[in-house]
Chains A and B, each alone.
Chain A
Amino acid sequence: GQQLNQSPQSMFIQEGEDVSMNCTSSSIFNTWLWYKQDPGEGPVLLIALYKAGELTSNGRLTAQFGITRKDSFLNISASIPSDVGIYFCLSGGSNYKLTFGKGTLLTVNP
């Protein structure tokens, strides 16, 4: 099946630092989504990308849909303690199924 390689697996940063994480695949996708999951909660949609090359921001978050349609990155600027959580990339192709990355666990030290 389709697989996404999400990295890094975990990150430990200081408050105020910028964060970058990415997902790559050997397959071409039509959609990239980024979700955040807090402990004991369901994932929450952060950014949705639908066009190759698209760059979208949501507050301190910026994500891009790679031009090859095989990758995406998410940047978080000026991190704060509430950014702590697991970030998942998801991609969608033509078969109406979403593929999840394995997640990036972000820890922010105040």
Chain B
Amino acid sequence: DTEVTQTPKHLVMGMTNKKSLKCEQHMGHRAMYWYKQKAKKPPELMFVYSYEKLSINESVPSRFSPECPNSSLLNLHLHALQPEDSALYLCASSHDPFGPPFYEQFFGPGTRLTVL
């Protein structure tokens, strides 16, 4: 299985809602990532989990809360989001968080989030 799956594919939420994005991989990868991508822009790194521990937080607002329940799962909990948070949220995983082939990240299809 060489796939990263993400659910839901689309999500519409109000600014007072609480929702979660889910990501799963069964490739035995030990690093998992959350990215945010605006239209016609490259993905922007949000969080990195290494061996199920948060290792990088790119100064992301606290209304985004990541969680890594086990080595295969990654969640992103959303609360009190703003309309400008609307974007494609991508999950990725890589074999090793330290050095090559760390750089070879496998991306999921993304969750298209719209905040009203």
Q: What residues of chain A have their CB less than 8 Å away from a CB belonging to chain B? A: 30-31, 33, 35, 40-45, 48, 50, 86, 88, 90, 92, 96-98, 100-103, 105
Q: Nearest chain A CB to B102's CB is how many angstroms away?
A: 6
Tally of chain B residues near chain A (CB < 8 A): 26
B92 / chain A contacts, CB cutoff of 8 Å: 42
Pair B100/A42 contact, Cβ less than 8 Å: no
A100 CA to B41 CA, complexed, in Å: 10
Pair B110/A31 contact, Cβ less than 8 Å: no
B61 / chain A contacts, CB cutoff of 8 Å: none
Choose one: B99, B100, B104, B109; the contact of A41 (CB below 8 Å).
Answer: B109
A41 CA to B98 CA, complexed, in Å: 26
A105 / chain B contacts, CB cutoff of 8 Å: 40
Pair B42/A40 contact, Cβ less than 8 Å: no
A92 CA to B100 CA, complexed, in Å: 9
Q: A42-B109, A96-B98 are known contacts. Are A103 and B42 too (CB-CB below 8 A)?
A: yes
**Cross-chain pair count, CB within 8 angstroms:** 56
Q: B104: nearest residue on chain A (CB-CB)?
A: A48
A50 CA to B90 CA, complexed, in Å: 25
Q: Nearest chain B CB to A99's CB is how many angstroms away?
A: 9
Pair A48/B42 contact, Cβ less than 8 Å: no
Choose one: B42, B88, B105; the contact of A101 (CB below 8 Å).
Answer: B42
Instruction: Tell me if B97 counts as interface (CB < 8 A to partner A).
Output: yes
Q: A88-B42, A97-B56 are known contacts. Are A45 and B109 too (CB-CB below 8 A)?
A: no
Instruction: Tell me if B34 counts as interface (CB < 8 A to partner A).
Output: no
Within 8 A of A (CB), among B65-116: 88, 90, 92, 97-110, 112
Q: Nearest chain A CB to B56's CB is how many angstroms away?
A: 7
Q: Nearest chain B CB to A79's CB is how many angstroms away?
A: 21
Pair B103/A42 contact, Cβ less than 8 Å: no
Pair A31/B103 contact, Cβ less than 8 Å: yes
A50 / chain B contacts, CB cutoff of 8 Å: 100
Instruction: Tell me if B4 counts as interface (CB < 8 A to partner A).
Output: yes
A31 / chain B contacts, CB cutoff of 8 Å: 100, 103
A42 CA to B102 CA, complexed, in Å: 18
